[in-house]
Structure 1
């Protein structure tokens, strides 16, 4: 049986008349001896029906007819709801008044921890709220499974006029089971007017829940701009950390959830200590982690560093490291923003570490290495040799990284490694040989090539049998004189005293255009 829905065959004649507010019929039935206390499948009797429908006349008649009006006025449904509860819930002030005069228990709790006052607040019935409070209703009791007070509920429902009344009689700092105050609820659900009433009355704008979240933090997270502005106007602290690791601020929430208008507000008032401070986390990380390029843009524009502190909380050494790793596992529809984030960090001169170069060499996301080389170029000095060693270890990916590294200005002679010559596929090896004088290779390399050719694992280009053309030898000489790095830059080549037609040739573009590789 459903104990929330009334079945017609379980409702008494008196209760049905009371539900319809038919006082004359109720009176007639009572004179004929009908009982006032027959309950339906929900545990409702005629008085519950009269209170719920708001018939003060029926309430009076039923109370007068009851054998014990004090017991009858507080009769309970299966959910422990009283007639006063229903009158308050539905906003029937005359019926509520009559029940109170009859001795109704003003604070009786239902099974779901509600009470007449809480029900009236929930329904937005201000007159009933004022009546119940004037008659001694408990205003700071806890209700609902999370322990909300009536003020919590009024704020949650956005009943501003009721909030204005309750702030004069309720505790402003009442907390639920999570340590949340009514003002926090207002910030969380965007109840701007209620928030203003509470703040103006003196409620603590920097109250913290058990997880240390503040009203400003939750308003930023939920995107309630007007609440953020109001909290800041009432001097809420944007630098109050909101978790035990001492790093999460409202600006982090705004960046993570791309609340751009709020982010702009918070950038100007948040201490920059979080940007690169030891043990803290820059909001740049949150923008990157959540794939919010639009959040990252204003942060970088306003001076937040692309080279934030190492982030032990997320396990990344820098934002670029995070961006590249996140990019490698993001879903297709998220990749565009992740690539844009990577590009933005590089354009802002993010430091590229050697592990980042090595990861990019593997070609999991093909756009990584070209972006890094475009913005950061090749590593310098000792780190360049480290990059070469890492590249040689990634010979299976050489079809991807070899053309890119050479185009960026890597000296091809640095790749004359035994492993490269032994393991590279024919097309890769021939491509590399095109950038050097294949007739002056070290004897060990020549022996490897000869052995592979005999086994059929390498097929040389026909012109490798001959001495390189004079023009090729000349551009090798030019490269030896100016360096591979300089020769890779068109701006440098254009200044050389050579015909324009030869500039592409000096940069080996004829070779690059003949070899097209994709990641393995």
Structure 2
């Protein structure tokens, strides 16, 4: 190697001519005795320059002039890149042919854990890929920092024709360092054509890490083409233990998290549970919990989608846990509690008593939740207010009495009211001095006979053979605004 020559272009005269693809000048310089193996400050020789530029003629001349062709053709840059790597990456088919003929190491990896085949796949040069494979390039090797195979990279880039070529020889179940398969990558990035090619090639999807997770976690805002179709095709062949399996994550969570109502509808239609499993990974007790929290965060155009998802989960029979009731009582998003009460009603038995204690702890927002709960289940009034009758705010107490027959309260409660009136902490409305009017008593009788839970549903009210005015009256429209 000649270290005596100084080059202003940081590369030798031969390398500069090769970079510019000037074959005749390269030939003349060689004939005049200029060295072909001088490297620049990147470790590039003239052969690297010729290969990168795609000058097949310069490649041929340089290989012919080399003292040891096999060593020269495999010379490395400081990043361990060979001339073949550059030619393959840039899609220079003729240069690749000459380098292979000169004895290039097809599977040599770089410092970045790439190789000529991986580089050609990444850049989408199908003809170079085919040539390298025909010359025994390793198709199932692991490359890149994450250990991807060439098929991983092909589906990631969406190079459909390269995927179609590679699936016949690559391992379809190859996994990277995170256990992710090529099919998972195709689903994750929404490349539906690549996904169909891999799936149709015979991969047993049920043995994979669940690709449907990837499809549902792919944001509809980034790419919506064919995404629903991907989900629909993957659902029937996806391992179902993820639905409610302990330690798993149901794709229902991911559909909710990414706001994909259509995907969620498809999952529920195929039998996935709206309750799923407790998801410690996301920090939610159930998908409904996640939907309500997401609705709290996204007070913008995304709310409509989240509301649709919430309704979908409730309509599918999602179990409303006590924590969800407690969160809804706070009224951060006013529509939460009405939605829950409309579809799930109030809990029963011991859970109703627990809800009463939770509600008492949220008295600061009583003006929000009390009208809703009183309309739904009047007997719950005694649990919600009765145990705090001595402390209830004046307007809250008066509002509470509007929903019951105030003349038939238990004697213990009447005594408390009497003491509060005497010490000035309660000022009753005038009509509380008299027996309730007949219409109110009839309303209470109807609610007792039909059930407050049924009457809380607008759909049920609309089916009753009563005038619209009475529909509103049965739902206490005459007192709804008294607490605001």
Measured after TM superposition, the shift of residue 148 of structure 1 is 0.8
Q: How does 1:66-105 map to 2 (within 5 A)?
A: 66=33, 69=34, 72-103=35-66, 105=72
> Is the CA contact (8 Å cut-off) linking 2:36 and 2:62 kept in structure 1?
yes
Give the whole-Å Cα distance in 1 for the aligned partners of 2:467 and 2:93.
86
Q: Choose the corresponding residue for 1:122, options 73, 82, 89.
A: 89
Larger CA deviation: 171-180 vs 151-160: 171-180
Pair 1:213-2:174 in alignment? no
Provide the residue aligned with 1:285 in structure 2.
253
What residue ranges of structure 1 are gaps of 5+ in the alignment? 1-35, 243-248
Measured after TM superposition, the shift of residue 486 of structure 1 is 5.2
Give the whole-Å Cα distance in 1 for the aligned partners of 2:229 and 2:461.
47
Q: How does 1:98-497 map to 2 (within 5 A)?
A: 98-103=61-66, 105-143=72-110, 145-169=111-135, 170-176=137-143, 177-200=145-168, 202-242=169-209, 249-257=210-218, 258=220, 259-330=227-298, 332-411=300-379, 413-415=381-383, 417-418=385-386, 420-446=388-414, 448-449=416-417, 452=420, 458-480=426-448, 483-485=451-453, 488=456
Provide the residue aligned with 1:246 in structure 2.
none
Q: Aligned pair count? A: 469
Q: SS of the residue aligned with 2:86?
A: helix
Bigger CA radius of gyration: 1
Give the whole-Å Cα distance in 1 for the aligned partners of 2:384 and 2:59.
95
Measured after TM superposition, the shift of residue 413 of structure 1 is 4.2
Measured after TM superposition, the shift of residue 442 of structure 1 is 4.1
Task: State the Cα deviation string for residues 459-496 of structure 1 (Å, max 9, x = none).
Answer: 43222233433443444455455554455567877898
What residue ranges of structure 2 are gaps of 5+ in the alignment? 221-226
Distance 1:454 1:115, change over 3 A: farther
Q: SS of the residue aligned with 1:167?
A: helix
> Is the CA contact (8 Å cut-off) linking 1:396 and 1:424 kept in structure 2?
no
> Is the CA contact (8 Å cut-off) linking 1:158 and 1:194 kept in structure 2?
yes
Give the whole-Å Cα distance in 2 for the aligned partners of 1:494 and 1:95.
86
Distance 1:365 1:510, change over 3 A: closer
> Is the CA contact (8 Å cut-off) linking 1:183 and 1:199 kept in structure 2?
yes
Give the whole-Å Cα distance in 1 for the aligned partners of 2:93 and 2:457.
76
Q: SS of the residue aligned with 2:247?
A: coil
Provide the residue aligned with 1:16 in structure 2.
none
Q: SS of the residue aligned with 2:206?
A: coil
Measured after TM superposition, the shift of residue 443 of structure 1 is 4.9
Provide the residue aligned with 1:33 in structure 2.
none
> Is the CA contact (8 Å cut-off) linking 1:494 and 1:503 kept in structure 2?
no
Task: State the Cα deviation string for residues 320-347 of structure 1 (Å, max 9, x = none).
Answer: 1222233333453433322221111011
Measured after TM superposition, the shift of residue 164 of structure 1 is 0.8
Give the whole-Å Cα distance in 2 for the aligned partners of 1:212 and 1:491.
49
Task: State the Cα deviation string for residues 386-412 of structure 1 (Å, max 9, x = none).
Answer: 323322232212111111112223425
Task: State the Cα deviation string for residues 254-287 of structure 1 (Å, max 9, x = none).
Answer: 0111532211111122132322233322211111
> Is the CA contact (8 Å cut-off) linking 2:407 and 2:435 kept in structure 1?
yes
Measured after TM superposition, the shift of residue 362 of structure 1 is 1.6
Distance 1:353 1:88, change over 3 A: same
Provide the residue aligned with 1:8 in structure 2.
none
Give the whole-Å Cα distance in 2 for the aligned partners of 1:262 and 1:386.
44
Task: State the Cα deviation string for residues 210-254 of structure 1 (Å, max 9, x = none).
Answer: 111100001110111111001011112322343xxxxxx110000
Larger CA deviation: 134-143 vs 186-195: 186-195
Measured after TM superposition, the shift of residue 146 of structure 1 is 2.6
> Is the CA contact (8 Å cut-off) linking 1:121 and 1:129 kept in structure 2?
yes
TM-score (norm 1): 0.82
